[in-house]
Amino acid sequence: MSDVPTITLNNNVEMPQLGFGVFQVPPQDTEHVVSVALEAGYRSIDTAAAYHNEKGVGKAIVSSGLPRDEIFVTTKLWNADHGYDRALRAFDASARRLGLDIVDLYLIHWPVPSADRYVETWKALEKLAADGRVRAIGVSNFGAEHLRRLLAETATVPTVNQIELHPYFPQTELRALHAEHGIATEAWSPLGQGTVLSDATIIRLADRYGVTPAQLVLRWHLQLGNIVIPKSANPTRIRQNRDIFSFELSDQDIAAITALDTGRRIGADPATFALT
Ligand code: A2P
């Protein structure tokens, strides 16, 4: 794994900058797909309670035979589990399904502002970190207003905010806020759920660098400093998405990709999303 750089989180934990995401991977396929990813050299796996596939992730880790400390595992607390006590119980259930004593990174999946409990939930994550159950705690889908509230009302700055981020939605302002506070930016749907791969500018630049559109976009993320977790169910594409360390984009081309910003999300809006 020597060619995958790590990002040093604000609590000094090292996190691989490239990981493998299992959103929408069916539970019965997860062990196999994660095994393919581990064989391809991925050493960071991103799951969530809401994906219903934590068990498959855990089984793939065991069957890989890799030492536990060589794999970085992220999971997330679902919206129905906000609140201090519920959050502690939700973590125990996730850890049990994963078959792990310690999880590397635990995230609040969505802020659910309508429930107004994310500050309380965050305090439970602080306890999990203090108790050594998790190596790092962070958030996902937090907007500037939600981050500012955690910063004002709690003692721990999130290590990571995992957000929708791709060339059509590059999140320039939120990334700047993260940088100001030492929060690492992690991109979900880094390929815009595949939509950016048929963009004319992306295709033209990919041809020029002699790479695929997906490799070009993933390289753009790395050079912006994002942690990135592409997902694919296809072994060839799983390996292709891992092969992004032997070329470099010019500053001008990075700017051209960032300029594809449409200002529109593909996924849910964190200000209103409250599905339980
Ligand atoms: P597949 O599983 O068939 O490879 P995102 O991570 O932005 O949500 O995008 C994921 C989508 O992009 C999936 O539908 C996945 O399909 C597709 N995908 C992932 N990697 C590649 C690739 N290298 N080339 C083309 N499509 C890809």
- Residues 13-46: tens digit of each pLDDT: 999 999 999 999 999 999 999 999 999 999 999 9
Q: Please, which pLDDT band fits residue 3 given cuts at 50, 70 and 90? A: confident
- For each of the domains in the chain, give its residue range(s) and CATH number, in order of start: 14-258 (3.20.20.100)
Tell me the best of 234, 241, 243, 266 to mutate to test the pocket of ligand 1, counting ligand atoms within 8 Å of each CB and taking the most: 234
Residues 51, 53: Cα–Cα separation, whole Å: 5
For ligand 1, atom 19, the nearest C-alpha belongs to: 232
Q: What is the pLDDT of residues 89-145, one digit of tens each?
A: 999 999 999 999 999 999 999 999 999 999 999 999 999 999 999 999 999 999 999
Atom number of ligand 1 nearest to Cα 241: 23
Percentage of residues in the chain with pLDDT exceeding 70?
99
pLDDT for 201 equals 98
What is the CA(3)–ligand 1 centre distance, in A?
Answer: 22
pLDDT for 2 equals 57
> Does any ligand 1 atom lie closer than 6 A to the CB of residue 40?
no
Tell me the best of 29, 30, 47, 191 to mutate to test the pocket of ligand 1, counting ligand atoms within 8 Å of each CB and taking the most: 191
> Does any ligand 1 atom lie closer than 6 A to the CB of residue 214?
yes
43 contacts 72 by C-beta, under 8 angstroms: yes
pTM of the model: 0.98
Strand partners, 162: 140, 186
> Does any ligand 1 atom lie closer than 6 A to the CB of residue 197?
yes
What is the CA(74)–ligand 1 centre distance, in A?
Answer: 20
Residues 122, 126: Cα–Cα separation, whole Å: 6
> Does any ligand 1 atom lie closer than 6 A to the CB of residue 26?
no
For the cut 50, the answer to whether the pLDDT of residue 1 exceeds it is no
What is the CA(191)–ligand 1 centre distance, in A?
Answer: 7
What is the CA(241)–ligand 1 centre distance, in A?
Answer: 9
> Does any ligand 1 atom lie closer than 6 A to the CB of residue 203?
no
What is the CA(145)–ligand 1 centre distance, in A?
Answer: 31
Residues taking part in catalysis: 51
> Does any ligand 1 atom lie closer than 6 A to the CB of residue 119?
no
Angle between helices 54-64 and 27-39 (to 10 degrees): 40
